[in-house]
């Protein structure tokens, strides 16, 4: 019985999609060092999803998503960062950012200005009800990384911007609570930490991010989740 339950939970986690209107975007922190420096990253990340099962009851499982990013030093001080993540179904997010960088002997400082576009969906099966949101996310981001050795990097990032819905669709039964009022713009704050280790050209990466949307009605069909955890590989091309 326990083995069957574990198998069911594992199957649900692999087939579930993240059902939040927003979660932290774990974009790669490239730490560009010079012109022509290019970084490619691929990661898998997890957010909890609420599941109701007639036999197992209500619980949360980790729903996986996939992300990829490419960054490059365009000049001696300018860099570009592109990012895409996919969470199953029509749930996705992508951004492009331009910025500057400064490389020192043991550390790198980066600053980016960019804009993201995404689509999210949330379901409440037992009502049943659902929401769908297309949104923009303009932002500025500052990254700081420390080269402990040529095999180990650690760092932090802070992203500040906004969450701006472009289109909101909701399907709610007549006897259920109505959708709360949706702000046209909610300030966003998103810190992130990372740890990388491995060979100089290829490192394993662990990331954790947190999000807070100020003034957003974090309830019902508009609920977002504040935490994402990711694991990936970064290649220095």
Question: What pLDDT is stored for residue 15 in this prediction?
Answer: 42
Q: Residue 186 — pLDDT band, cuts 50, 70, 90? A: very high
Residue 53: count of CB within 10 angstroms of its CB: 12
Tokens matching residue 198: 């491995």
Domains of the chain: 2-236 (2.40.160.20)
Identify the pLDDT of residue 47: 78
The pTM assigned to this predicted structure is 0.86
Q: Which helix (H) or strand (E) holds 45?
A: strand 38-53
Which residues, other chains included, contact 204 with Cβ-Cβ below 8 Å and sequence gap of 6+? 196, 197, 198, 231, 232, 233
**pLDDT for 117:** 97
- The pLDDT score that the predictor gives to residue 88 is 78
Nearest to 204 by CA among 36, 44, 7, 4: 44
Q: Give the span between the Cα atoms of 160 and 28, in whole angstroms.
A: 16
| Residue 181 confidence (pLDDT) above 50 | yes
Given a cut of 60, whether residue 52 has pLDDT beyond it is: no
How do residues 117-138 score in pLDDT, each as one tens digit? 999 988 776 667 788 999 999 9
């Amino acid at each position: 019985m326990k083995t069957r339950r574990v198998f069911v939970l594992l199957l649900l986690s692999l087939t579930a999609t993240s059902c939040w209107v927003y979660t932290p975007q774990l974009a790669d922190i490239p730490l560009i060092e010079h012109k022509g420096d290019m970084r490619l990253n691929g990661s898998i990340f997890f957010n909890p999803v609420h599941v109701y099962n007639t036999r197992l009851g209500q619980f949360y499982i980790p729903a996986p998503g996939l992300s990829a990013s490419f960054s490059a030093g365009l000049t001696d001080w300018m860099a570009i960062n592109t990012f895409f993540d996919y969470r199953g179904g029509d749930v996705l997010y992508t951004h492009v950012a331009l910025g500057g960088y400064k490389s020192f002997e043991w550390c790198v400082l980066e600053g980016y200005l960019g804009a993201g576009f995404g689509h999210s969906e949330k379901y409440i099966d037992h009502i049943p009800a659902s929401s769908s949101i297309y949104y923009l996310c303009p932002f500025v981001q500052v990254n700081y990384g420390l080269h402990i050795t040529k095999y180990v990097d650690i760092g932090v990032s802070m992203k500040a911007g906004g969450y701006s819905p472009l289109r909101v669709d909701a399907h709610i039964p007549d006897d259920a609570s109505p959708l709360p009022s949706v702000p046209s713009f909610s300030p966003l704050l998103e810190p992130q930490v990372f740890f990388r280790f491995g060979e100089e050209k290829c490192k394993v990466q662990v990331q954790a991010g947190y999000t807070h949307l100020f003034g957003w009605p974090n309830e019902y069909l508009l609920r977002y989740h504040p935490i994402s955890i990711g694991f990936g590989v970064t290649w220095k091309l």
